[in-house]
Amino acid sequence: MDKIDLLSELAFKYLSDKCPQIKHPFTPTYYELLKDKIDTTKKVLEIGIGYREMALKWRDYQTGASLLMWREFFPNAQIYGIDILPNALYNDERIESFLCDQTKKEDLENLIKKIVSDVDLIVDDGSHKTEDQIFSCLTLMPIVNKNVIYIVEDASEPEKVAAALSMYNCEIPKLRRRFRDDNVIIVTNKL
Ligand SMILES: C[S@@+](CC[C@H](N)C(=O)[O-])C[C@H]1O[C@@H](n2cnc3c(N)ncnc32)[C@H](O)[C@@H]1O
């Protein structure tokens, strides 16, 4: 059996479905991508916080699961989460959340004004709709730090997303897929 990496352990601990032990095969890839940035990452933004009632039909879950995972993984980072639903908001030490619709340009621009543009990592785990994934990335990439790593999660049409974001480097890592949307796109600025 493969050794379990730290990020997968934390996803499992906090019940986020990003890890293979619960559902998606994302965290081992994220760990490889981010393991050298554990101490230097200062700001993380996750689109889509998740709330307890959302997942209880299928499994145990807690509001803010992935925000808690990121907070423990990045000991020096402030973690921001956004959601369209008030009952998903989750605030705690080093975790701040905002009501914000990823399909609204004004909401995203106001968000960046509030949290300041020096974000190191953005993860889109919001609506999972292809058009929203493209829109949010096209809106946020030009107004944040040039070194940002932007991850689009649960993409059911990863090639379509990557084609629409062709002005950026888009990597679609090969994952051990079990579900149709077991895809991520890693977006970075071209040098
Ligand atoms: C899959 S859950 C997030 C799970 C969480 N990131 C985790 O790993 O534990 C998706 C969340 O995205 C939110 N969402 C859906 N559409 C959105 C939108 N247009 N803007 C912002 N959030 C949205 C939902 O309300 C829900 O809380």
Query: For the segment 103-126, what is each residue's pLDDT rounded down to a tens digit?
Result: 999 999 999 999 999 999 999 999
CA-nearest of 36, 100, 46, 102 to 70 is: 46
Atom of ligand 1 nearest to the CA of 129: 16
The residues lining ligand 1, judged by C-beta closer than 6 Å to any ligand atom, are 16-18, 46-51, 54, 65-66, 82-85, 88, 101-103, 125-127, 132
**Mean pLDDT computed over 157-169:** 98
Residue 36 CA to ligand 1 center (angstroms) comes to: 27
- Indicate the pairing of strand 43-47 with strand 121-124: parallel
Class of residue 151 by CB neighbours under 10 A (exposed 0-12, middle 13-18, buried 19+): buried
Q: pLDDT digits over 4-36, tens only? A: 999 999 999 999 999 999 999 999 999 999 999
Residue 46 CA to ligand 1 center (angstroms) comes to: 9
Atom of ligand 1 nearest to the CA of 102: 20
Residue 125 CA to ligand 1 center (angstroms) comes to: 6
Are 126 and 153 in contact by the 8 Å Cβ rule? The answer is: no
Q: 127 to each of 15, 16, 131, how far by Cα in Å?
A: 19, 16, 10
Q: What number of residues does the chain have?
A: 191
Atom of ligand 1 nearest to the CA of 64: 9
What does CATH list as the number for 6-188?
Answer: 3.40.50.150
Residue nearest ligand 1's atom 16 by CA: 127
Q: Whole-prediction pTM value?
A: 0.96
CA atoms of 67 and 89, how far apart (whole Å) = 11
Q: pLDDT digits over 58-84, tens only? A: 667 788 999 999 999 999 999 999 999
Are 70 and 77 in contact by the 8 Å Cβ rule? The answer is: yes
